Amino acid sequence: MKTKNYNVVIIGSGPAGLFAAIWLEKLGLDKIAVMDRSPYPAGGLLNDGKLNFDYRVGLDIEELQIDRAAAEGMMQEIKQIFTGFPRCRQVTFIENNKKLLALSAMASEHGAQFIAPEQWHWGTDNGKDLVDYLRGYLKKTDFLLNTEVIAIEKRSDNNFRLDCSAGEKRINCNARVILAAPGRSGAYWFRDLARKLNIRNNFGPIDVGIRLELNRKSYDFITDIVYDPKFIFKTGRHGDKVRTFCTNPGGRVRVENYGTFKLVNGDALSGKKTKNTNFALINTVALTKPFSDTTEFGQSIAKQCFLLGGGRPIIQRIGDFREGRRSSLAAFNSKTNHFEVCKATCSATPGDITLAMPARIIDNLWESLKALDKIIPGILHPSTLLYAPEIKFFDTHFPTDRYLETNVQGVFVAGDGTGKSRGIVGAAISGIIAAQGIMRRCGGVNDR
């Protein structure tokens, strides 16, 4: 087969990759390819689909080297695209919402920062249709699906050669520019490859914690005002940051399988609700010398949970967590202590989370849970369930210029897997910034 030549090959078809392609077409570039090892061009767009439109959520404007106005400008454009999908509906309204001010005051009384972004949601059950709708924006881009990039070589003419496997076949192609947007699932593959190409990178922080599941009646009071409320705590004892994240009213707790360990997560359907609400409570951990490898650190916690849970995540009643006592299976079937109020939506092993995580993290989580219970009474109800481990591995970070180009000319990065975002909207923004940089590199028009 003849080797194809592209101006740009985008690795990854998640929000970072798709929005980069949409912007490149808009800016007038041709010969664009999006590659993904999956058969369907979606990345994390098939999961839940909560959109947070707030410059403080899901991105770091310092890391992206943009100011608030630039971030908000791009968010408007991204919003226009997503909200053109009829089943993406607004779930949090912030304009003239007096209840938000009251909540914010209540949170600060208990030492927490409260952020309520404008939020929209389409639900996991609408994910495929949403992706088909987004793909409709792309008229000229080649999609090379079921195609995994294995290796990249920089050639003497400064172009790149990509070696890929497509099922049984090996294929290759050439590109003037590469955009790596491999998401968290491809982060370590790209990190290894980057080292071979002398692309600078270092370890970013990770978020380690638990997912709470409770009867939704205890939390509807707040999620009726803000679908996914963000509370940020600075803990008194250790001065660490703990935050709530990814709330799913009427949702389900889900398991992500990484082979040697499993993580918990959550989502919600649009058409079918459970009686529960779940959300993550996570503690940000950064490490310095002599051991800065947050990947290894996070994985060792995840593996400890895997070991203790017999290959499944651990589930614990909140009372047992407080006492540092293993939950028994009986505690999940009994009606004592009103345990029947919250039935688990996810299969996990009754165990002791406090045995699997460092004491400092457990201290921070417990302190934050107590503060949260003061803001939203009911969190500490005996029926509340805790699942572990919930870990967000945003642990690979690439230093870049303001267009997200790495130290190797022609290699751009975007999205969660390269430390440039932490969510769909942030990933889309980073894709747009990279697209602007790629246009400069390919000699086309500059940023608009």
Ligand X SMILES: Cc1cc2nc3c(=O)[nH]c(=O)nc-3n(C[C@H](O)[C@H](O)[C@H](O)COP(=O)(O)OP(=O)(O)OC[C@H]3O[C@@H](n4cnc5c(N)ncnc54)[C@H](O)[C@@H]3O)c2cc1C
Q: Would you tell me which residues interact with ligand X (CB under 6 A)?
A: 11-17, 35-38, 43-44, 47-50, 58, 148-149, 181-186, 189, 246, 254, 256, 265, 267, 415-417, 421, 423-424, 427
Structure tokens at 329: 């299976």
Enumerate residues 6+ apart whose C-beta is below 8 A from 425. 15, 51, 52, 53, 57, 58, 59, 75, 78
Q: Identify the DSSP state of 77.
A: H
Enumerate residues 6+ apart whose C-beta is below 8 A from 260. 299, 303, 306
**Among candidate residues 431, 448, 439, 364, the one with its CA nearest the CA of residue 34:** 431
- CB of residue 356 vs ligand X: minimum separation in angstroms? 21
Q: Nearer Cβ to ligand X, position 278 or 364?
A: 278
Q: Identify the DSSP state of 197.
A: T
Other residues' Cβ atoms within 10 Å of the Cβ of residue 310: 9
- CB of residue 124 vs ligand X: minimum separation in angstroms? 8
What number of CA atoms fall less than 13 Å from residue 91's CA on the CB side?
24
Enumerate residues 6+ apart whose C-beta is below 8 A from 58. 52, 421, 422, 423, 424, 425, 426, 427
Q: Nearer Cβ to ligand X, position 184 or 230?
A: 184
Q: Nearer Cβ to ligand X, position 17 or 381?
A: 17
- CB of residue 396 vs ligand X: minimum separation in angstroms? 11
- CB of residue 330 vs ligand X: minimum separation in angstroms? 30
Pair 388, 207: CB distance under 8 Å:
no
- CB of residue 369 vs ligand X: minimum separation in angstroms? 22
Enumerate residues 6+ apart whose C-beta is below 8 A from 290. none
- Classify strands 411-413 and 169-180 as parallel, antiparallel or unpaired: parallel
Q: Nearer Cβ to ligand X, position 331 or 429?
A: 429
Is the peptide bond preceding residue 229 cis, with omega within 30 degrees of 0?
A: no
- CB of residue 75 vs ligand X: minimum separation in angstroms? 12
- CB of residue 423 vs ligand X: minimum separation in angstroms? 3
- CB of residue 281 vs ligand X: minimum separation in angstroms? 16
89 has which bridge partners? 121
- CB of residue 426 vs ligand X: minimum separation in angstroms? 7
Q: Nearer Cβ to ligand X, position 58 or 309?
A: 58
Other residues' Cβ atoms within 10 Å of the Cβ of residue 182: 29
Q: Nearer Cβ to ligand X, position 265 or 354?
A: 265
Q: Nearer Cβ to ligand X, position 381 or 420?
A: 420
- CB of residue 54 vs ligand X: minimum separation in angstroms? 11
- Classify strands 89-92 and 50-53 as parallel, antiparallel or unpaired: unpaired
What number of CA atoms fall less than 13 Å from residue 162's CA on the CB side?
29
Q: How would you class 227 by CB atoms within 10 Å of its CB: exposed for 0-12, middle for 13-18, buried for 19 or more?
A: buried
